[in-house]
């Protein structure tokens, strides 16, 4: 075995107790006392998660003799100094019961882990090559288990894994090691080749997926994206790790794979016609994570080069990585021929509606939303809609506005496609982190335009996007529909048959009347309110009417008088103008 490699073993030692046993063996530990740490967060999910809290036991040894460990902080340990030449092994028992794309999960049906949850980082030795021995659980009931991961089998090493087998895999360094999630179990496996790159799809969980349909559609999407950035693709192979559950949605991007959580009903089934909404959602998720293979895994903010796994990594650019990716995820479905233009306009209208329903868009800029992701976007509470804007949704709309601005100001000579391709060539292919103003700089360079106003207004400021005007130039009409009832100024939820206020909008009728988040609405003008009749009650009233409200705050009855506001924005609708003759030549190129 390569003497300078850091060697890990991971063993689902007790699936019923959700415990992995993980060892990290360092051949040349720091003579001053080797330190080890587990990351506090996982790239792609911008929240401090303190994965080390799931370590339930940790011990160290050298050549069979115990070595004492001193815990320095919530996720760092230091081993007693050893004589030069003596190796050091640290073994952890790790609890794994987080069925999300961000953590680790283990039971008798399968195992899934991200390296950030299980592999200690030998501090100061992050650049050393790594070997990892992925071991099966013991017992005949696990005989059908195999392994899905984009990690490379360690060919030439003793115990090297075969593709999809247990055994030893390799990574060039710690950063690469933890960027390849691993699934073990009796999953369904499908395969396709896109632009010469083998793509595996491993589906875990009970499902009736029509894998032929899925592979055919994903092949179109992946080929379109590889050609978009230019062949050859930056990865040698790619793996979609899909976990199908009853209800669930999530994805996390990696350099050569993605972990996806979906509702099994969103997967295609035999005999399915067209692209139903659920399947469209799933393909959009696949397309989103796949686009990240370029945009955020390789073109990435300078603040992430290298990642600091101990703390928050601040950047104002998440809108460019998540927003532009959100713009292209659905667009790739259209441009690869998987969905049609009407489907696509419906998806875009949904994003516009989302943003327009969020008053926080006039409080927080995209740059601020990106920077504060760690403490705001990822930690939503009752006040979030008032003060936070999604850098995904509004970021996608800024990408749309930028695309249309570039196209209309250059007679369709330059588009956001050119900007992405140049970002890829300058920063992605070269592994140089993007400076904070990279998108603006490259866009100005591509189009030979001054875009300072655009970025000041829409990225660093909170000015409303001129989407109606921009879309009209391209023959698409944007219309807004208001609600049919006067407004209480609240977002409600059905809680066990009662109307609970989730968010009370700033300056709205409910806030002026003294209602608060968490209040249970009981009656309007002396009549009982239920989730099923709230709209009917409000529909018989007018903006400006004063109404009597009874509500519970905790267990105390409160009564107030509320003056109803005019109906508020409900939904955006996009339609194609007939016989549009726009000022822009070749406008038919957009959207696809």
Q: Which residues bind Zn ion (CB under 5 A)?
A: 322
- CB-wise, 112 or 321, nearer to Zn ion? 321
Closest CA to 36 of 82, 73, 83: 73
Q: Write down the least CB distance from residue 188 to Zn ion, Å.
A: 25
- CB-wise, 142 or 374, nearer to Zn ion? 374
Query: Alpha-carbon distance 331 to 358, whole Å?
Result: 23
Residue matched to tokens 């592994």: 431
Q: Write down the least CB distance from residue 248 to Zn ion, Å.
A: 16
Q: Write down the least CB distance from residue 304 to Zn ion, Å.
A: 14
Query: Alpha-carbon distance 97 to 547, whole Å?
Result: 49
Backbone angles phi, psi at 281, to 5 degrees: -60, -45
Q: Write down the least CB distance from residue 252 to Zn ion, Å.
A: 8
- CB-wise, 292 or 407, nearer to Zn ion? 292
Distance of CA 407 to the CA centre of its chain: 29
Query: Alpha-carbon distance 110 to 301, whole Å?
Result: 35
- CB-wise, 98 or 322, nearer to Zn ion? 322
- CB-wise, 197 or 320, nearer to Zn ion? 320
Query: Alpha-carbon distance 46 to 547, whole Å?
Result: 43
What tokens appear for 35 in the block?
């330190």
Closest CA to 183 of 156, 201, 159: 201
- CB-wise, 5 or 390, nearer to Zn ion? 390
Q: Write down the least CB distance from residue 288 to Zn ion, Å.
A: 5
- CB-wise, 322 or 368, nearer to Zn ion? 322
Query: Alpha-carbon distance 30 to 333, whole Å?
Result: 51
Angle, alpha carbons 284-181-53 (nearest 5°): 110
Q: Write down the least CB distance from residue 199 to Zn ion, Å.
A: 19
Please, are residues 265 and 206 in contact by the beta-carbon 8 Å criterion?
Answer: no
Q: Write down the least CB distance from residue 329 to Zn ion, Å.
A: 8
- Separation in Å, CA 265 to CA 207, 216, 221, 279: 8, 18, 21, 8
Q: Write down the least CB distance from residue 322 to Zn ion, Å.
A: 5
Q: Which residue is nearest to Zn ion (CB)?
A: 322
- CB-wise, 293 or 492, nearer to Zn ion? 293
What tokens appear for 37 in the block?
């740490």
- CB-wise, 115 or 395, nearer to Zn ion? 395
Note the helical H segments in 318-448.
318, 324-335, 341-356, 366-371, 384-387, 393-409, 416-423, 438-447
Q: Write down the least CB distance from residue 296 to Zn ion, Å.
A: 7
Q: Write down the least CB distance from residue 292 to Zn ion, Å.
A: 6
What tokens appear for 152 in the block?
């490379």
Sign of CA dihedral 11, 14, 18, 22: negative
- Separation in Å, CA 528 to CA 150, 487, 548, 551: 57, 18, 12, 10
Distance of CA 195 to the CA centre of its chain: 25
Q: Write down the least CB distance from residue 114 to Zn ion, Å.
A: 16
- Separation in Å, CA 568 to CA 141, 275, 359, 477: 58, 32, 11, 20
- CB-wise, 322 or 372, nearer to Zn ion? 322
- CB-wise, 266 or 322, nearer to Zn ion? 322
């Amino acid at each position: 075995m390569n003497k300078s490699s850091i060697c890990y073993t991971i063993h689902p030692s007790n699936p019923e107790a959700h415990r992995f046993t993980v060892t990290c063996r360092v051949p040349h530990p720091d003579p001053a006392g080797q330190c080890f740490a587990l990351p506090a967060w996982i790239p792609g999910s911008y929240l401090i998660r303190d994965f080390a809290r799931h370590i339930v036991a940790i011990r160290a040894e050298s050549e069979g003799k115990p070595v004492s460990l001193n815990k320095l902080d919530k996720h760092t340990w230091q081993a007693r100094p050893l004589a030069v030449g003596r190796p050091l092994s640290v073994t952890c028992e790790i609890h794994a019961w987080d069925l999300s794309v961000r953590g680790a999960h283990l039971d008798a049906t399968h195992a899934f882990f991200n390296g950030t949850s299980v592999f200690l980082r030998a501090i100061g030795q992050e650049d050393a090559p790594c070997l990892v021995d992925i071991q099966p659980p013991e017992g005949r009931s696990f005989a059908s288990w195999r392994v899905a991961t984009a990690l490379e089998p360690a060919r030439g090493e003793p115990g090297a894994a075969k593709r999809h087998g247990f055994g030893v895999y390799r990574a060039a360094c710690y950063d690469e090691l933890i960027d390849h999630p691993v699934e073990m179990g009796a999953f369904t496996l499908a395969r396709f080749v896109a632009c010469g790159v083998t793509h595996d799809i491993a589906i875990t969980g009970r499902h009736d997926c029509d894998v032929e349909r899925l592979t055919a559609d994903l092949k179109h999407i992946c080929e379109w994206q590889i050609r978009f950035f230019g062949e050859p693709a930056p990865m040698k192979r790619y793996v979609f790790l899909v976990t199908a559950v009853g209800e669930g949605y999530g994805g996390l991007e990696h350099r050569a794979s993605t972990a996806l959580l979906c509702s099994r009903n969103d997967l295609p089934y035999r005999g399915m016609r067209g692209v139903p909404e659920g399947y469209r959602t799933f393909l959009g998720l696949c397309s989103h994570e796949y686009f990240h293979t370029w945009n955020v895994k390789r073109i990435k903010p300078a603040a992430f080069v290298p990642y600091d796994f101990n703390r928050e990594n601040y950047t104002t650019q998440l809108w460019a990585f998540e927003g532009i990716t959100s713009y292209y995820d659905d667009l790739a479905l259209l441009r690869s021929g998987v969905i049609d233009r009407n489907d696509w306009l419906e998806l875009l209208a949904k994003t516009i509606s989302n943003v327009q329903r969020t008053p926080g868009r006039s409080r927080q800029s995209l740059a601020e939303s990106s920077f504060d992701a760690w403490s705001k976007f990822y930690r939503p509470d009752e006040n979030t809609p008032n003060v936070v804007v999604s850098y995904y949704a509004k970021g996608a709309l800024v990408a749309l506005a930028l695309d249309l601005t570039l196209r209309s100001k250059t007679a369709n000579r330059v588009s956001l496609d050119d900007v992405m391709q140049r970002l890829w060539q300058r920063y992605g292919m070269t592994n140089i982190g993007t400076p904070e103003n990279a998108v603006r700089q490259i866009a100005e360079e591509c189009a030979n335009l001054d875009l300072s106003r655009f970025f000041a207004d829409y990225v660093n400021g909170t000015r409303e996007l001129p989407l109606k005007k921009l879309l009209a130039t391209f023959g698409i009409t944007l219309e807004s529909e208001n609600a049919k009832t006067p407004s209480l100024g609240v977002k409600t939820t059905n809680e066990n048959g009662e109307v609970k206020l989730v968010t009370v909008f700033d300056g709205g009728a409910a806030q002026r009347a003294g209602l608060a988040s968490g209040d249970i609405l009981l009656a309007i003008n002396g009549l009982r309110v239920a989730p099923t009749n709230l709209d009917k009650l409000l529909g018989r009233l007018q903006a400006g009417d004063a109404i009597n409200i009874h509500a519970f705050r905790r267990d105390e009855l409160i009564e107030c008088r509320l003056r109803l506001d005019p109906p508020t924005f409900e939904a955006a609708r996009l339609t194609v103008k007939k016989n549009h003759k726009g000022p822009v030549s070749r406008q038919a190129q957009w959207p696809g």
